[in-house]
Structure 1
Amino acid sequence: MNPQVKDMDKIDGTYLFDLRTSNRALRLNRFFWHMIRAPWRDRFLQEAEVLMQEAELTEHEKALVRARDWLGLVQYGANFFVIEKFARVVRMTNLQVYAIMRGESFEDFMQTRRVPEAR
């Protein structure tokens, strides 16, 4: 094991992203990356199950997508930047996603910001 990542999983809120994780989550990350294309986004909104099947997502990956399990996606190995693309498709702002990941209501989360009234 790389000594730089040894015991990293013991740091609360840190999720190891190594080659194994990258390889495991590759299909899912590609699936989200395709959200940059309007036809892909439209298909997702119209027939998500078919699109996930065509992308060969595993049942676990499909469940994460269906549940909009933002923290679960990160823990699984989804790249945050492609998760943000997906969030916009399902009409979620980054701030809403961050609040959910922290286990807070949006209003409580906003109170932790320097400008809590900013939306």
Structure 2
Amino acid sequence: MSDAQERWGIPGTYVFDLALSRQGYAINKMCNSLKFDENREAFKADEEAYMERYGLSEEQKQAVRERDWLRLTQLGGNLFFFLKLGATLGYGLYTIGAQMRGESYEQFMSTRNVPGAT
């Protein structure tokens, strides 16, 4: 059980509280910077240098390398920020949600109340 799960008593949930906010400051700052086209281009040109520029921990860097959205959450990443990273890399909200739940996109979409979803 993670520290956040222990503090909040909600198994399987990561509450973005002050502790996780502090832990994830670097990843969230980096992700927020991707709202600018020139930063998205710089990230895509050299992900490692871009992550280094923002001082990501090795664990955070590995989560970015693996496109492990759940791990980013566990390390203090906030969905509203790392959606910018996802968009930069071609991952949408539902694709990210599926990966975080350990499901295929199709499995995930079958649980959504979305018109036209299969």
Shift of 1:114: 1.9
Structure with higher Rg: it is: 1
Shift of 1:7: 4.4
Task: Give the TM-score of the pair, scaled to structure 1.
Answer: 0.86
Alignment of 1:1-119 (within 5 A): 7-115=6-114, 117-118=116-117
Q: Contact 1:25 / 1:77 at 8 angstroms: preserved in 2?
A: yes
Shift of 1:39: 0.7
Q: What residue ranges of structure 2 are gaps of 5+ in the alignment?
A: none
The alignment of Structure 1 onto Structure 2 pairs a total of residues equal to 115
Identity rate, percent? 37
Question: Structure 2 CA distance, aligned partners of 1:101 and 1:9?
Answer: 20
Q: Contact 2:31 / 2:85 at 8 angstroms: preserved in 1?
A: yes
Shift of 1:35: 0.7
Q: Contact 1:8 / 1:16 at 8 angstroms: preserved in 2?
A: no
Q: Contact 2:5 / 2:13 at 8 angstroms: preserved in 1?
A: no
CA RMSD between the two structures: 2.0
Q: Contact 1:8 / 1:14 at 8 angstroms: preserved in 2?
A: no
Q: Contact 2:110 / 2:117 at 8 angstroms: preserved in 1?
A: no
Amino acid at match of 1:95: Y
Question: Structure 2 CA distance, aligned partners of 1:115 and 1:40?
Answer: 33
Secondary structure, aligned partner of 2:34: helix
The answer to which of 29-38 and 8-17 deviates more is 8-17
Q: Contact 1:74 / 1:80 at 8 angstroms: preserved in 2?
A: yes
Shift of 1:8: 4.6
Question: Relative to structure 1, is the Cα distance of residues 115 and 19 closer, same or farther in structure 2, using a 3 angstrom cutoff?
Answer: closer
